[in-house]
Amino acid sequence: MNLTLPSSEPDPVASCRDCLGIAVTRANARSVGDYSKASDANVDLRVHLREGHGEAGSADADRLTDGELRSTVRAE
Ligand SMILES: [Zn+2]
């Protein structure tokens, strides 16, 4: 375990292959210092959690994701 980023990162659902795939991509990207790719993986995971697991109201999903995308771009 290597928690180098803030706790705002989404957590993968352990039993979901899609979540784990994204989490592995994120971990690999971070391990080589590719934080841009790691951020992309976080966005992918958030979208997947909302669309695949319904962790947020679906009515707000597009707007929230859009805002998170923008703040991710700004942070880079
Ligand atoms: Zn999942």
Ligand 1 centroid to 32 CA: how many Å? 24
26 domain residue, yes or no: yes
Domains in the chain: how many in total?
1
pTM of the model: 0.62
Task: Give the integer Cα–Cα distance in Å for 31 and 23.
Answer: 12
Ligand 1 centroid to residue 20 C-alpha, Å: 7
Examine residue 27 and state whether it is found in any structural domain, yes or no: yes
* CA 56–ligand 1 middle distance (angstroms): 13
Distance 42 CA to ligand 1 centre (A): 12
User: In this predicted structure, what is the pLDDT of residue 35?
Assistant: 95
Q: What is the pLDDT along the chain (76 residues), one digit of tens a residue?
A: 555 555 578 999 989 999 999 999 999 999 999 999 999 999 999 999 999 998 654 444 444 455 555 555 555 5
Domain that holds residue 43: 17-75
The pLDDT of residue 30 is 96
